[in-house]
Amino acid sequence: MILSCNHISKAYGTEVILNDCSFHLEDNEKAAIIGVNGAGKSTLLKIIVGELPADDGTVTTGKDKTIGYLAQHQNLSSEATIYEEILSVKKDLVDSEKRLRDMESLMNSLEGEELIELTEKYTRLTHDFDIKGGYTYRSEISGIIKGIGFDESVYDKPVNQLSGGQKTRVALGKLLLSKPDIIILDEPTNHLDLNSIKWLETYLSTYPGAVLIVAHDRYFLDKIVTKVIEIDAHKAHVYLGNYSDYSKKKQAMRESMINLYIKQQKEIKHQEEVIEKLRSFKQEKFYKRAQSREIALSKMELIENPDTVESTMSLTLEPNCISGNDVLFVDNLAKSFDNRQLFSDLSFSIKRGERVALIGDNGTGKTTILKILNEIIPADAGSFTLGTNVFIGYYDQEHHTLNDNNTLFEEVSDAYPDLTNTKIRNVLAAFMFTGDDVFKRVGDLSGGEKGRLSLAKLMLSNANFIILDEPTNHLDMVSKEILENALNKYTGTILYVSHDRFFINQTATRIIELTNHKLVNYLGNYDYYEEKRDELTKIYAPEIETAISVQQTSASSGKDDYLQQKEEQARIRKLENSIKKAESRIAELEAQLAAIEEKLSDPAIGTDLGQLSKLTAEQNAINEELETLFEQWEEWSSSL
């Protein structure tokens, strides 16, 4: 056992955060801590690493074991470059390397005993340098920097000029490079793009030490962890398996608790009826029996109603009018910042009812596209057109549409002045803002709370084309599931940017990836994207070097590429459907043939010429149809 938390409790005044929480972590084990926002996950991590004291309980680590901790927010203010800051983790090897070079230079000027003595020191230092990874640490640093999403072009950028998210990635790189015995990460995927998240998954899955993660990325947790620690109602509950295993077990436990609750409520009602009946007899012996039952009832440990244990969002989205079939058409869009081309000649269209996810690496221009569509910033070239009766509702991940000086109540009433006070309170309550919460200043809200407020305003907009920028950031898992259900039931059209793969897989009907300055279209969810990514990227968005030669031999525009992608994928989908139908029909006909052959083997049929003739005719017809189907199947399969 490398880490043990025993009976941890923590409260702030009268507000209990953690109560008697216990769990342990084995060597090399990968575990997740999950729970709704405010459950105490980050508090627990801070207690484990010693940043906060526990009110009760103890944290024990294995002897001489090291802990590496990544908090959600970093405040690095170093004047060093990105490369220098991460290289500082290997200062001992850098110093050793310098000493070796100095020794090598000095050897040329020495002889005799001095040279022998220096050579011996050089040999010992070289051996130590080799054992500690001295000959590989620079390539390891480059691998980690690229893995966390930094291109070589920004290696020399000073850390104090980075955004908050970039500083967090630098801190993550330093932590991974230090290779502690226990890695503790608080929301490590918040500032990573999809490729970096997948790289981190592989890194942590194969990491030789223990890993403890707080994260809301369900796809990420499924790939890594083998234990889930849920903080629920201030208690820690341990489940073996990944997130999907936890989810199934949790649902089964919830159903069991509901049954126990219903059973107990029936028993309570029965006892109350018996007590009332006994009291009605007006005799001493019956009164005492009633009193005895009342005492037993008062000592009963009540089971809470699982349906009301926690308050969660109640989200309903519905457009106020139906748009035309063509919702959006984007034609040859281009945008640059500071002489850096984000994208050019981007063309795509969206039809009514589609749920389209726009994905790509950080810095490729996904949010920029959404801002252009909402006319927050202009495009350098190209245009976009909205269809008939299309009304946009925009969810901005930076929440620029919110006024920090307003209270929550004012924020909604200013946007929708016709709403009654009761309606405003009901809407805010649906997003977990109750009581005096509605009088909080918007500027005092957390990122997650601002996200819920923005969603509340979006719900009221009755838009029929919703554009969302990272809608699941800062939402807990329960809230994500509620949002997923709402979007899947929504009868309007949706375009969103997200790096939450589980969310994309649950909601998207189409994925557009922005890669190598091009758009690649995928007619399916995230699983389909993963299956087809390498194949379609190679065709429609090759690396820049390849793209140059392609442009020299082809005059096709971005719009032509997009239309070709749609036509090709529609062709593939049609073929795949035809193949499935043919295979299903073949199996059905082969079953019929087997049945006929069984009948023909019956001696009684052999003497019944009428029946024999009928069965033979059916057999011939089936064989002819099978031959045709096999020819079609072979032709369709070879066309894929």
pLDDT tens per residue across span 318-350: 888 899 999 999 999 999 988 888 898 999 999
Bridge-based pairing of strands 510-515 and 355-360 is: parallel
Say whether pLDDT at 281 is over 80.
no
Gap between the Cα atoms of 228 and 247, Å rounded:
10
Tell me the per-residue pLDDT of 361-382, one tens digit each, with 9 for 90 and over. Answer: 888 899 999 999 999 999 999 9
DSSP label of 6:
E
Q: In the predicted model, what is the mean pLDDT of the chain? A: 86
Same fold, 1-76+162-241 and 326-518: yes
Structure confidence at residue 638 (pLDDT) = 59
Which of 22-31, 469-478, 541-550, 555-564 is most confident? 22-31
pLDDT band at 613 (very low <50, low <70, confident <90, very high): confident
Gap between the Cα atoms of 280 and 277, Å rounded:
5
At 338, list the tokens: 């500071």
Superfamily of domain 326-518: P-loop containing nucleotide triphosphate hydrolases (3.40.50.300)
Phi, psi of 194 (to 5 degrees): -60, -45
Which of 110-119, 154-163, 225-234, 251-260 is most confident? 225-234
Gap between the Cα atoms of 441 and 617, Å rounded:
82
DSSP label of 192:
-
Gap between the Cα atoms of 598 and 142, Å rounded:
69
pTM over 0.75: no
Q: What is the 3-state secondary structure (H, E, C) of 100-124?
A: HHHHHHHHCCCCHHHHHHHHHHHHH
pLDDT band at 45 (very low <50, low <70, confident <90, very high): very high
- Please, what CATH class does the domain formed by 1-76+162-241 belong to? alpha beta
Structure confidence at residue 495 (pLDDT) = 97
Question: 3-state class of 282 per DSSP?
Answer: coil
At 98, list the tokens: 């310098």
Mean pLDDT (whole number) for 621-633: 78
Say whether pLDDT at 241 is over 80.
yes
Phi, psi of 580 (to 5 degrees): -60, -45
Say whether pLDDT at 554 is over 70.
no
Domain ranges (residues) in the chain: 1-76+162-241, 77-160, 248-298, 326-518, 572-639
Say whether pLDDT at 635 is over 60.
yes
In CATH terms, 572-639 corresponds, of 1.10.357, 1.10.287, 3.40.50, 2.70.98, to 1.10.287
Residues 7/54, Cβ–Cβ less than 8 Å: no
Query: Which of 115-129, 199-213, 274-288, 351-365 is the least confident region?
Result: 274-288
Structure confidence at residue 555 (pLDDT) = 39
Share of the chain above pLDDT 90, in %: 45
Which of 124-128, 539-543, 624-628 is most confident? 124-128
